[in-house]
């Protein structure tokens, strides 16, 4: 039987409607949630992500400002920009779009963001809080994956989740989130990576398979168990002369073949991508609510 397609676009629209109401309540109290985005350089994928974040912020009634810096900007100036946003009460959330140009230490810049305004959840203090199960902003892509699973009726509780990829942005924080002894988590997690021998022997054991490797069609149908729930985090640009932009977006999974086997699968585009942006908006609204002494 063909898989159910889990639409991140539809789920996002639902969550953004909820957020609109929370922003309106904050505004009644004289608080407008604000997001500051720092974009260094003109990497086309980064520009596209930042545009989606700005558009999403506006749509739910938040204030958003993108600070565009040239690729040649010195690290000290990027740090000064972050410092300005840290001090400015208009901004409840700060995000520095990654990757940063060569010669700039992303670790140093991230550590400079005030942990209370770190809506990406990348600051080492927040990474530590996540691992310890303490309240903190949850990294947006892992948060979006868990929210998608739960809202689509595939709670990870008690399931074996196999995560392919060990990045600081997706694989590692997702594993940390899923092993929490909490509602919506409580999963058994296996993390596979480039050092894994016989990847297929692990992916075939998954109730839920998360592909976050950054390689087109890295997960093929023979690696997926019948009835598995597949979450495709990959966003890869592949050349396509027939497409207006000269490329199209594909995930890390062989979608067409896997959808004949899986119980459910997320598409690319329109799957995890919109959820990532939505969770960023949620983190920013929650940062503003905390400051205003309101609980969501």
CB 209 within 8 A of CB 162: yes
Q: For ligand GUN, which is the closer residue by CB, 96 or 130?
A: 96
User: In sequence order, what are the beta bridge partners of 5?
Assistant: 265
Q: For ligand GUN, which is the closer residue by CB, 98 or 221?
A: 98
Q: For the CB of residue 200, give the shortest distance to ligand GUN in the complex, in Å.
A: 27
Q: Which residue has the tokens 């609980």?
A: 295
CB 41 within 8 A of CB 70: yes
Q: For the CB of residue 248, give the shortest distance to ligand GUN in the complex, in Å.
A: 19
Applying CB under 6 A, which residues contact ligand GUN?
95-98, 120, 140-141, 169, 276
Q: For ligand GUN, which is the closer residue by CB, 203 or 276?
A: 276
Pairing relationship of beta strands 264-265 and 229-232 according to DSSP bridges: parallel
State the Cα–Cα distance between residues 253 and 233, nearest whole angstrom. Answer: 9
Residue 251: name the closest of 278, 214, 276 by CA.
214
Q: For ligand GUN, which is the closer residue by CB, 118 or 207?
A: 118
State the Cα–Cα distance between residues 250 and 264, nearest whole angstrom. Answer: 17
Residues known to be catalytic: 53, 97, 120
What angle do the packed helices 8-28 and 272-292 form, to 10 degrees?
Answer: 20
């Amino acid at each position: 039987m063909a898989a159910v397609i889990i639409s991140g676009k539809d789920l996002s629209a639902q969550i953004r409607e909820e957020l609109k109401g929370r922003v309106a309540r904050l505004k009644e109290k004289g608080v407008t949630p604000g997001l500051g985005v720092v974009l260094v350089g003109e990497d086309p994928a980064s520009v596209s992500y930042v545009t989606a974040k700005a558009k999403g912020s506006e749509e739910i009634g938040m204030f958003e400002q993108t600070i565009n810096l040239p690729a040649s900007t010195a690290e000290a100036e990027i740090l000064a920009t972050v410092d300005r946003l840290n001090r400015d009460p208009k901004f409840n959330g700060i995000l520095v779009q990654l990757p940063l140009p060569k010669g700039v230490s992303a670790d140093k810049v991230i550590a400079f963001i005030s942990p209370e305004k770190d809506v990406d959840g990348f600051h080492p203090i927040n990474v530590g809080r996540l691992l310890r199960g303490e309240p903190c902003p949850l990294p947006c892509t892992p948060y979006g994956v868990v929210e998608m699973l739960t809202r689509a009726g595939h709670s990870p509780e008690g399931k074996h989740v196999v995560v392919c990829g060990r990045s600081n942005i997706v694989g590692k924080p997702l594993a940390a989130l899923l092993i929490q002894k909490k509602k919506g988590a409580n999963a058994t997690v296996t993390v596979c990576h480039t050092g894994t021998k016989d990847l297929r022997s692990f992916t075939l054991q998954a109730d839920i398979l998360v592909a976050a490797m950054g390689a087109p069609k890295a997960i093929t149908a023979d690696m997926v168990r019948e009835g598995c729930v597949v979450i495709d985090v990959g966003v890869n640009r592949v050349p396509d002369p027939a497409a207006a932009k000269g490329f199209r977006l594909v995930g890390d999974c062989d979608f067409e073949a896997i959808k004949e086997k899986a119980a459910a699968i997320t598409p690319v585009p329109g799957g995890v991508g919109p959820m990532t942006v939505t969770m960023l908006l949620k983190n920013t609204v929650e940062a503003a609510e905390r400051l205003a002494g309101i609980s969501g």
